[in-house]
Structure 1
């Protein structure tokens, strides 16, 4: 259990209806949380093993080992609909948009261009994201956990400039499935500080963290995660999208 995580009965306040799996907002001991019961997970042909809840908790464990606070504190807990993922709520601010859609070619200062397309009215637009240390770390985290669903709405802007990533149920697949809107750093070298964080994760995977992840993921998934990490460190640069039959950006991107 993460330090300071509330204990007690989980009380629900409402359901997040747009979510693809059952997602509820509630509280424990006056602290707001997100609750995703395992019973509300839709079966996925390409994620047949384990649970999405376990993958979310595993993603938090990796975030902690990196030391980057990408994922809010997340545990496997119990609630009104049975066991599931319980994550501390984070209040995002409305006046910051780390990932955005702008008129084609009109990339704001401090942002990176990702791709061009057409909006719902067939107007040319560009997908952009901010050029920040927080998003660089999140992009590297996504590479390591093989995140198949990094939408713009899964990047939460905090008032102090930090960014949290949420919704990590589609992670740790054995096949390469990286789908993300954070492609703006492609080809750039990994900094010394970033490499140090990745190195901390590598050491943790060789020890206690690896043993913990095997309790939630398959041994092959944990081994493949270590291989992805080693490949990223060996290459020393942000990877390019892999050419495959899978899309490299989630749809919709928000």
Structure 2
């Protein structure tokens, strides 16, 4: 099984033979579980063909598959967050997004629990009541990998960061998946990872954000232009610069729902 951090993973994704083994039925668009094989290397991947996408009125440009690839490119170039290797390529049902499958542990990184059962150090995002009227909280781990994913979501303008999209990899890394509705030019951040509101950005993230505009004006911008329009690419720079100017994790906006539903 090829690790997400293995340099050969990109080649396997781009050139490997893709064979459908099943379908993830909970997904809103066609999402297939596939085997990958190339010259003795093997692995598994998620394949989302463009032909299986349902059009979204507020994302009229490009494809959801392209936005998944663009978010991966942004993560890789910026060093913010971890997204499994992702490529746009031909598959059994035509061109689509192919992303390396991540093996995960049983560890939960986002959860809804009674207040008394929140693990020490976890961040509480929302107080509510369950269907029986008992107190409950939306909470997530205070983990560097989760925090970096929250920063990636800000600059990628992720409008659907559900708890089930935050994975604890068996390699110890935290991975974010399912980025089809990211990178809109208008503010649409909707996430379960609001646990650091008002706190200073970590110094390593600040350095990565400072370096991002130059990358976008260079080779990264050229790569993104295959999937996004110019306004959307420029908005990435604007979000990074705004985040740097404030120096803290932002609060939710008042003009849109800031937490996705369902939560997972």
More deviation, 118-127/222-231: 118-127
| Cα RMSD, aligned residues only | 1.4
Q: Deviations over 1:20-60 (max 9, x none)?
A: 00000001203101000000001111111110000000000
Q: In 1, are the aligned partners of 2:81 and 2:151 still within 8 Å (CA)?
A: no
Instruction: Assess, with a 3 A threshold, how the Cα gap between structure 1 residues 9 and 161 changes in structure 2: closer, same or farther.
Output: closer
Q: Is 2:75 aligned against 1:67?
A: no
Match of 1:213 in 2: 224
Match of 1:193 in 2: 204
Match of 2:3 in 1: none
Q: In 1, are the aligned partners of 2:80 and 2:151 still within 8 Å (CA)?
A: no
Match of 1:24 in 2: 32
Match of 2:259 in 1: 249
Q: How many residue pairs were aligned? A: 251
Q: In 2, are the aligned partners of 1:117 and 1:125 still within 8 Å (CA)?
A: yes
Secondary structure at 1:116 match in 2: strand
1:37 corresponds, among 49, 54, 69, to 49
Secondary structure at 1:28 match in 2: strand
| Structure 2 CA distance for aligned equivalents of residues 175 and 104 of structure 1 | 35
Q: Is 2:160 aligned against 1:152?
A: no
Stretches of structure 1 that go unaligned for 5 or more consecutive residues are none
Match of 1:121 in 2: 132
Stretches of structure 2 that go unaligned for 5 or more consecutive residues are 1-5
Secondary structure at 1:35 match in 2: strand
